[in-house]
Amino acid sequence: MTDTLTPVLTDNWDEDRAWTLAAYERRGGYEALKQAVRIDPDDLIALVKDSGLRGRGGAGFPTGMKWSFIPQDNPQPKYLVVNADESEPGTCKDIPLMMASPHTLVEGVIIASRAIRAEKAFIYVRGEVLHVVRRLRAAVREAYDAGYLGEDILGSGTRLDIVVHAGAGAYICGEETALLDSLEGRRGQPRLRPPFPAVAGLYASPTVINNVESIASVPAIVRGGVEWFGSMGSEKSKGFTIYSLSGHVRRPGQYEAPLGITLRELLDLGGGMREGSELKFWTPGGSSTPILTAEHLDVPLDYEGVSAVGSMLGTKALQVFDQTTSVIRAVLRWTEFYKHESCGKCTPCREGTWWMVQILRRLDKGEGQPGDIELLQDLCSNILGRSFCALGDGATSPITSAIEYFREEFEAAMTTPSWELFPPAASTLFAKEGVAS
């Protein structure tokens, strides 16, 4: 049995000046790269494949397999693009990782680029995180100075350049093909597939797109190996991962554990729900994953476990809400987000999210009309599976799941405003402090 928490990615975050090269190397940083430059690229791909590492950006696709799709006989340059757009509501793991230890990501990028034989890599980071952009740029600069980037890395004959690219505010740019369009200097709108990025991605060249945490996990896998990685996690969801706990819990934050830990265990570690509060609903992996309730406290938080109860592990963004929270208000706000972020390319999502907001607004005001619940469900079924990209699908998740578990609250919304049933002041972080003092 492994320990309940297994810090690997977070292990050096409490180091003095952890973001610097010196601090990173003090903790064994770039040792994995030194090993990796002596490993044949195909063997690196096999290693990551065999480790069972699955994408940490939401979909859980096997990372090594994705790398193996890059056609190596294609004469075009190959690219690695790191998805550091982290904008899915609730998701907050990649940003602290890059803030505290940007070199973990940079080392992962260098190894992954060697594996897929890319000589140019991009880190597409959302623009709204100034200090993280600073830390990334400085880490890349330090890595060049140390000979980990540029020509002939550590005498291996391979070369790599990394460009840190700041986005400009658009959730949809986290969708990998929209991200590519954005990185090409266009409006960020999803592309039709095929062709898939592995064949025709950035500049129509073979491209791997991976999440920050996926790539940052690679150095540890190189050092620890397949069995080490597999000694953590569950059978089909191997390894360690960062769970992000937020909301009405006493100690919100980042908890790195083997895949398969439960919310009950995490809440326990997090000091339980805040005083006088009990769990009402939660998201397992961001707002696009159907909400769950207290009956799901013991669901193993791995890909299989969460999908078995009709949701998704997603980004492991555990947003926890207590009994003071109006589910209508929560769902309305998420839906407003999807409406705002819908790129407008396809009709079901563009129009559907707009209509859903209208209906939820009147429900929030206690002015729901007979048939509104069915109308919402009908809209959702017209969006789900009919949109051009997964943003549209995700927009339906909070609504359908909320109706499933809290139908009576939607019914109450025919007559009573959410703020009367659930006065917002009671939900705030400062509510308790205010009462106590």
Partner 1 sequence: MTTNDPGQSPLPDPVEGMVTDTPTGEETPFDPAIGPETVAELRSLADRYPEARSALLPMLHLVQSVQGRVTSEGIATCAEILGLSDAEVSAVATFYTMYKRKPMGTHHVGVCTNTLCAIMGGDEIFDRLCGHLDIGSDETSEDGQITLERVECNAACDFAPVMMVNWEFFDQQTPESAIEVVDRLRAGEPVQATRGARITSWREAERVLAGFEDGLVDEGPAAVGPSLAGLAIARERGWTAPSYETQAGTGRAGESKAQAEAEADTRRAESETVAEESPADTKGGKGDD
Residues engaged in binding ligand SF4 (CB under 6 A): 172, 190, 342-346, 349-350, 387-389, 391-392
Under the binding rule (CB under 6 A), the answer on residue 244 touching ligand FMN is no
Give the residue, chosen from 75, 155, 194, 370, that forms a contact with partner 1 under the rule CB under 8 A. Answer: 194
Give the residue, chosen from 158, 241, 254, 396, that forms a contact with partner 1 under the rule CB under 8 A. Answer: 254
Cβ at position 220, least distance to ligand FMN in Å = 15
- Kindly state the tokens that stand for 166: 């700041």
Under the binding rule (CB under 8 A), the answer on residue 18 touching partner 1 is yes
Tell me the backbone φ, ψ of residue 82, rounded to 5 degrees.
Answer: -90, 125
Give the residue, chosen from 21, 33, 37, 95, that forms a contact with partner 1 under the rule CB under 8 A. Answer: 95
Which residues, at least 6 apart from 176, have a Cβ–Cβ distance to it below 8 Å? 81, 83, 197, 209
Give the residue, chosen from 211, 217, 234, 335, that forms a contact with ligand FMN under the rule CB under 6 A. Answer: 211
Cβ at position 57, least distance to ligand SF4 in Å = 16
Give the residue, chosen from 9, 24, 36, 55, that forms a contact with ligand FMN under the rule CB under 6 A. Answer: 55
Cβ at position 353, least distance to ligand SF4 in Å = 7
Partner from ligand FMN, ligand SF4, partner 1, none contacting 14, C-beta within 5 to 8 A by type: partner 1
> Between 115 and 154, how does the x/- string for binding to ligand FMN read (CB under 6 A)?
----------------------------------------
Instruction: Closer to ligand SF4 by CB, 285 or 392: give it.
Output: 392
Cβ at position 95, least distance to partner 1 in Å = 4
Give the residue, chosen from 20, 47, 88, 328, that forms a contact with ligand FMN under the rule CB under 6 A. Answer: 88
Q: Residue numbers of the site for ligand FMN (CB under 6 A)?
A: 55-59, 61, 63, 83, 85-88, 171-172, 174-176, 209-211, 214, 389-391
